[in-house]
Structure 1
Amino acid sequence: MPDDEATRFLAAHPDATHIDLLISDLNGVIRGKRIPRDNLQKAWQEGIHLPASLFALDISGNTIEETGLGLETGDGDRRCVPVPGTLTLAPWQRTPTGQLLMTMLDTDGSPFEADPRQVLNRVLTRFLARGIRPVVALELEFYLIDLQRDEHGMPLPPCSPLTGERARQSQLYSISELDEYQAFLEDIASAARAQALPLDTALKECAPGQFEINLLHGDNALRACDDAVMLKRLIKGVAINHGFESTFMAKPWGEEAGSGTHVHISLIDSVGNNLMADGDAPLGSQLLHQAAAGMLELMPESMAILAPNLNSYRRFQPELYVPMAPTWGFDNRSVAVRIPAGPPAAKRLEHRVAGADVNVYLLMAVLLASIEYGIHHELTPPAPIEGNAYTSVPPGLPDSWGKALDTWASSTVLREAMGEQFHHVYLTNREAERAQARQAVSALEYEWYLRTV
């Protein structure tokens, strides 16, 4: 009998009846197949087949034919292979269930260019060829919401498991609110340990029912994004078991803070030296400056990735801790790219623009591509911002989905960095979804205009 990860999993979990084979589409929606345990070893050794049009699906699961991945090419299959190290139990499931991340290959066995994980792998490979390894960490913000809706069908904040009272206050960094949701948070921590996910801290965020959970930094950017994908699924599953739903929607409520995904990035050499540090200099090394400059230069072109859907742009409002211009600075939470305070060994950049609704593979890919661009062209960033960037710098990022897609469409830098096929598939997929969204008439329009004009 072969001594591989699948064999060891089956031996360790004889009660696991089936395994979910998972792959992340362009929107970060998990798709795939559920197989019986007896099929796992075959899937591990040979892979499974899924249609290439999986990466043509919009948020509703409809194939966007303009991508060229659907019926135009016969809607053919591609082989999906396991991602080593991701075969685990899903402890929140009612019956013992395994899960395994997959990634897609093209017909010739090469990486399939429309697969977001392969897009990141493409960018990361160039870094490693330079002798530079990114060290990254992700922070995920999300809301808990009630399973019930209000009389208009709108979502409601959760009710406290201890008092039964509905959450109404922000209570940023509240320990008492963490205590109230302790059972939920403990089950997240327990499930994360079972899946070997490197959880760091949990905190209460700005709005009622809003939390943040962070992952520890690591020097494998692909694995860090795998962990984030698994953590997001874990949070959703555990929330249901506790009588909640969780949402990573960027802006569930117009009057409350949105949810973001913050990414910390440093760069190390082959022996582990932090290339962003320069002694005790607060702003770090010249390489850090070049990396920051690349992020700022390509930030407008990256917005279609950082804010991938209609709701994403509702998050960009003044005074809600969302950067609205390409700015940077030291220990300043009002800027888009922050250098956190800390010792030289921990010198890094924190990117603070992306929403919680982002595809983490594509987020990491576009950030690393921007850093690569800044280093290759030895760019110099503008002066760092001191004080409140929201009041001192006017908004300078695309503030609508349409503008962001137009900027993405014209970006020759990101087209080359992330692949011609991916650039086309992503653009046509997002444009088609935006066209559908523009046809929808909102409840607000009926309220304001139906009888008054």
Structure 2
Amino acid sequence: MTQTCPSGATLAEAEAFLDAHPEIEAFDIILHDSNGIGRGKIIRRHELISIYKSGRHMPISILGLDICGEDVHETGLIWDQGDGDLRAWPIPGTLKPLHNTTPPRGEVFLSLYELDGTPMTSDPRHALQRQVDLLAADGLRPAGAFELEFFLLANDRGPDGKVQPARDVLDGRHSRKTEVYSVDHLHGMLPLFSDIYAAAEKAGIKAETMISEYAPGQYELTLHYREDVMQAADDLIRLKRIVRAQARAHGVTACFMAKPVEEYAGSGMHFHVSLQDGEGRNVFAEKEEGKWTDTILHALGGMRDTMAESMLVFAPHANSWRRFANQSYAPVSTNWGVNNRSVALRIPAGDLRARRIEHRPSGVDANPYLVATIILAAIRHGLANRIDPGPETTGNGYADDDGGAMPRDWRTAIEAARNSAFLKDALGEDMHRTFTEVKAAEYARVNRTVSELDFDLYLHTV
């Protein structure tokens, strides 16, 4: 049965794409769950048109899975619903060709809707769209971009059983140094980076600067600033998929864990955000440099006021919490500052017309749709309540005793999130339940696992 597509995607888009890409034989159709994991199917070329005409039935339980793909019954999305099908629809503008695939394939993002066409409220995209719409009602449009930090690792472990940096794909050279900002070091990975840029261009992503980061095998890739925050989240989640696929094609592993190597810095997913008014003016921009507008100060105040109870979104996994340490370039309190990388909320130096806030707590393992959702909700909270962010932190933010406390571990963050009225309102009741119950189930899985560390500490000791 043909229905009107509630996402706004049109049959003409699919037909034009097929005409332009006669070589493509199959498509990855992808939903993103609460962890940001892409779940879906691979369909053949002739099936694409039917998805744009009628959508595709998907089980409701697909959004109630944990990190291992196991059902989390406490979400209410499994047997409470009889694990029935809802309808997934394509997202306009997300139908793209993939690079370096044999046979040639494309991909399209989907979002889940009830059978009557209303948004399925445990879908992370719908949570973000709701915050965008609420800001629009106030005459504001959020703009932003994510940064992507990641490790390139060898496929095999080192003699100590731990992960090790990948050898250069160019000539097999191996470095265990912290080659931060080394341009020559980047040259060894140029064949891989060239494929990443080619794939990003095919996908319509403006991937920009590549940096050798502050750990052996760690890199950062920056993204072009978008006037559409949903597009910024799409860029990030698609770019992770691109990096992983192209790394695999070159015989190395792309790692998006927040803290894969205990001795070195972890990987963040900093989010740069600003607000535009109906005329396209940046309402964060001050008229005279350094004389901050009330708008940017209240936005900072809202982010600070809600950060502690929101940390589960920014650090959603057990490994996420290993990233937070003094002098690690990851924040340990809710402080803010200007041109200062030791704080959680940074106003970068630069042209005041591009004034923005850099939100630094999130690890690269976080779901960008949910991260953006919470940041926009926090900004709305700050603006509505005219919240004072408190004094700016100058100098060493790690020594700031009044910086504002964060949860110190995963379990505390889960409880804070579960009990947060702000988070329930920001995510919506269903998305809040889904996310927190998935995290509680994952915590229980980790907590009951007997690790090698247990044996190392206790086997011959207690």
Aligned to 2:338: 330
Using the TM superposition, give the Cα deviation of residue 429 of structure 1 relative to its aligned residue in structure 2, in angstroms: 1.1
User: Which region of structure 1 is more displaced relative to structure 2, 85-94 or 203-212?
Assistant: 85-94
Using the TM superposition, give the Cα deviation of residue 162 of structure 1 relative to its aligned residue in structure 2, in angstroms: 4.0
Aligned to 1:287: 295
Aligned to 1:135: 143
Aligned to 2:32: 24
Aligned to 1:422: 431
> What code does the residue aligned with 2:440 have?
E
CA distance in 1, matches of 2:228, 2:384: 22
Q: Is the 8 A contact 1:22 1:102 kept in 2?
A: yes
Establish whether residue 270 from structure 1 lines up as the match of residue 282 from structure 2.
no
Aligned CA distance change for structure 1 residues 413 and 200 (closer, same or farther; 3 Å): same
Which residues in structure 2 correspond to 1:224-263 (within 5 Å)? 224-263=232-271
Establish whether residue 174 from structure 1 lines up as the match of residue 182 from structure 2.
yes
User: Which region of structure 1 is more displaced relative to structure 2, 127-136 or 416-425?
Assistant: 416-425
Aligned to 2:45: 37
User: Which region of structure 1 is more displaced relative to structure 2, 282-291 or 305-314?
Assistant: 282-291
> What code does the residue aligned with 2:413 have?
A
SS in 1 for 2:108: strand
Q: Is the 8 A contact 1:307 1:313 kept in 2?
A: yes
Q: Is the 8 A contact 2:169 2:192 kept in 1?
A: no
1:120 to 107, 125, 128: 128
SS in 2 for 1:261: coil
Q: Is the 8 A contact 1:92 1:234 kept in 2?
A: no
2:191 to 183, 198, 220: 183
Using the TM superposition, give the Cα deviation of residue 92 of structure 1 relative to its aligned residue in structure 2, in angstroms: 2.7
Query: What TM-score results when the alignment is normalised by the length of structure 2?
Result: 0.96
Q: Is the 8 A contact 1:282 1:330 kept in 2?
A: no
The number of aligned residues is 452
Aligned to 2:322: 314
CA distance in 2, matches of 1:113, 1:54: 13
SS in 2 for 1:149: coil
Establish whether residue 62 from structure 1 lines up as the match of residue 70 from structure 2.
yes
CA distance in 1, matches of 2:291, 2:301: 13
CA distance in 1, matches of 2:203, 2:306: 35
> What code does the residue aligned with 1:324 have?
V
> What code does the residue aligned with 1:195 have?
A
1:437 to 439, 446, 451: 446
Q: Is the 8 A contact 2:141 2:275 kept in 1?
A: yes
SS in 1 for 2:405: coil
SS in 2 for 1:364: helix
Query: What TM-score results when the alignment is normalised by the length of structure 1?
Result: 0.97
Using the TM superposition, give the Cα deviation of residue 272 of structure 1 relative to its aligned residue in structure 2, in angstroms: 0.9
Aligned to 2:3: none
SS in 2 for 1:34: strand
SS in 2 for 1:78: strand
Using the TM superposition, give the Cα deviation of residue 108 of structure 1 relative to its aligned residue in structure 2, in angstroms: 2.8
CA distance in 1, matches of 2:57, 2:367: 22
Aligned to 1:210: 218
Aligned to 1:381: 389
Using the TM superposition, give the Cα deviation of residue 186 of structure 1 relative to its aligned residue in structure 2, in angstroms: 1.1
Aligned to 1:390: 398
The one-character-per-residue Cα deviations of 1:163-191 (angstroms, maximum 9, x if unpaired) are: 52322111111111111111111111111
> What code does the residue aligned with 1:398 have?
P
> What code does the residue aligned with 2:273 have?
I
Establish whether residue 87 from structure 1 lines up as the match of residue 95 from structure 2.
yes
Using the TM superposition, give the Cα deviation of residue 156 of structure 1 relative to its aligned residue in structure 2, in angstroms: 1.8
> What code does the residue aligned with 2:460 have?
R
Establish whether residue 47 from structure 1 lines up as the match of residue 47 from structure 2.
no
Identical aligned pairs, as a percentage?
38
Establish whether residue 403 from structure 1 lines up as the match of residue 412 from structure 2.
yes
**Deviation above 6 Å: which 4+ runs of structure 1?**
none
Q: CA RMSD in A?
A: 1.3
Which residues in structure 2 correspond to 1:330-349 (within 5 Å)? 330-349=338-357
Aligned to 2:372: 364
Using the TM superposition, give the Cα deviation of residue 150 of structure 1 relative to its aligned residue in structure 2, in angstroms: 2.8
SS in 2 for 1:54: helix
Structure 2 regions of 5+ residues with no counterpart?
A: 1-9
CA distance in 1, matches of 2:203, 2:330: 32
Q: Is the 8 A contact 2:342 2:396 kept in 1?
A: yes
Aligned to 1:446: 455
Q: Is the 8 A contact 1:328 1:336 kept in 2?
A: yes
SS in 1 for 2:173: coil
Using the TM superposition, give the Cα deviation of residue 395 of structure 1 relative to its aligned residue in structure 2, in angstroms: 7.1
